[in-house]
Amino acid sequence: MSGYLGSYATLGLLLLASALVFLGAFGANRLLRPASPADPPGKRAAYECGLDPVGTDWAQMQIRYYVYAYLYVLFAVEAVFLFPWAVVFDRPGFGLVTVAEMGIFVAVLAVGILYAWRRNILRWS
């Protein structure tokens, strides 16, 4: 198949084949699985480290845990960008411009951590 519409026909055939494989896999699963008897008592109960669950399933989460997670992701991404920079920095032709770019990047991150520190976001209690 060539031409403008040929690429769409190829894409359509690929989507059709993937849908058939998907439906075939789920159909085979339904036909080949063992019949499930009624669940034994307590099978679908919540499991808390081997202890019987206490209380209701509603629990409030404090926003500060999400802030810690966000800060962790932020600085983990920063580390991901620092390692390739260290590898490229050693190559010829990446002198002062590379140092200036990474200095700006680290300065922006330092401003962010300084802001978090000044607002007492980093205090656990």
Give pLDDT tens digits for 7-21: 888 889 999 999 999
- Confidence (pTM): 0.40
Q: What is the pLDDT of residue 27?
A: 96
Scan for tokens 């808390």, then name that residue: 48
State yes or no: pLDDT of 1 exceeds 80. no
Give the integer Cα–Cα distance in Å for 23 and 30. 11
Angle among Cα 103, 106, 112 to the nearest 5 degrees reads 140
Dihedral over Cα of 13, 18, 19, 24: its sign: positive
- Residue range 28-79, pLDDT digits in tens: 998 998 776 676 766 666 665 666 667 776 777 777 777 778 778 877 877 7
Are 112 and 78 in contact by the 8 Å Cβ rule? The answer is no
In this prediction, residue 108 carries a pLDDT of 86
Residue 23 pLDDT exceeds 80: yes
What is the Cα–Cα distance from 95 to 98, expressed in whole angstroms? 6
